[in-house]
Structure 1
Amino acid sequence: MYLHQAIIASVLIAGLGIANATAQAKHEDTEFYTPVPVKVAPAKIPNGAPSDAIVLFDGKNLDQWVMTDDRTQPAKWTVANGQLTVNKKTGNIETKKSFGNYQLHIEWQVPQNITGTGQLRGNSGLFLASMGKGDLGYELQILDSYDNNTYTNGMAGSIYKQTTPLVNPSRKPGEWQTYDVIWTAPTFKADSTVNTPAKVTVLYNGVLVQNNFELKGPTQYVGEASYKKAHGPLPVKLQAHGDKSEPVSFRNIWIREL
């Protein structure tokens, strides 16, 4: 009997303690007023660049770009009718500026009269961080994937040779596609080993296709990807793929450093 009464008393005391703590708590205890977020003006048009973005291509020139194989040379792709079109004879291009973590918007188009199949059908690549000459870096694939069979970790929306997109929201050739990317760059320890791997979130035509995916390392065409070399911020690169199909075009490219 005494034990039962003691238990009841303990429960009542505990309840009173909780009630008192709740009574003493104030809503201000969980409110804070600093830091104050910087004001950013959103774009006035759909997919436009917000006020704190760096515009990488606005349809007029390639002032923000250089040739990957020789960064002393200005980018030599074709600009016409507000579009940037791959020139396969000149090679890849990349941004003059290097970036760490960022938000990127880019629009791309596979020609309506595209020919070829598989990887030979509107192939290009968005290298989220370029590691220099050739196709070195971390690649988000660009390809006609509307009705075109290929290996699924090589279709549009894939992190090339690493992961398949969650879904396939591709539009038809001739229609503009959009990528919105959140890139978290890898970090490295003092001994150059990986501290935190690269991660990426990708919306393809407004649909989530990569959800904070953790990359195994830079893109490898043959073999498993791995982190072999430490690095800091790197340029963003666009690929001039060496196939004979009609070239891909781009427009409305902007980036926000995070």
Structure 2
Amino acid sequence: MFDLSGQVALITGSSRGIGLAAAQALGRQGATVIINGRDPAVLEQAREGLASQGIHALALPFDITDIDQAVQAVDEVSKTVEKIDILFSNAGVQHREKLLTFPLPDFERVVFANLTAQWALGRHIARGMDARGYGRIIFTGSITALLGRREITAYTAAKAAMHGLVRQWAAELAESGITVNAIAPGYIKTELTTKLWNDPEFTAWLENRVPLKKWGDPDDIAAALVFLAARESRFVTGQVLVVDGGMSSSM
């Protein structure tokens, strides 16, 4: 099951963390993976690491917040791979600050990166999927779209809207053979959460709050992604799969 041989997957924000773990998981199932990041040197290092594991990987540097650049890069790589079957739209940014002092420019920047840019690139790729009658689109949502948390007002707003977008896209693209879902990670040890997992007080709180008593790992998200990316998930669309160690299910 979950054989992805012959399929091509684009994973944005995949030079490290959840995105890189996702590329490894999809590649191990036989997919050709296109990894993405803003730094060509870091991205090439990640590609070489994947290649050393026997994974067919291509590096595609672009900044998802530069929509014209992102679309052009995807169009260029499509000349080589001819199609993109799976999109894992994972790139994102964060800004932590109290609501009453949160700068409007930072709010707009975070919402644009985590919502608008995802919408624009995802729609562009969905057009090709529509023409072929098949596709898997998976967005990175967030547990913070379900449970409020201090000091991340822009991120929460963007991810909550993303969850709504998943349902709307699923309804609109179903007749094209495209499923659209999201994964909402709980607290996962990545570069984006470095400040938190380096805080002993926060980690103690987290281990007490999460039923499984630990931080999540990028591989936990990658395993869920493989299911949503596979043909076997053909009857699953418009869903947000929460991967949080039970945090959102308990008081």
Same fold (TM over 0.5): no
Higher relative strand content? 1
If asked which structure has higher relative contact order (CA below 8 Å, sep 6+), I would say 1
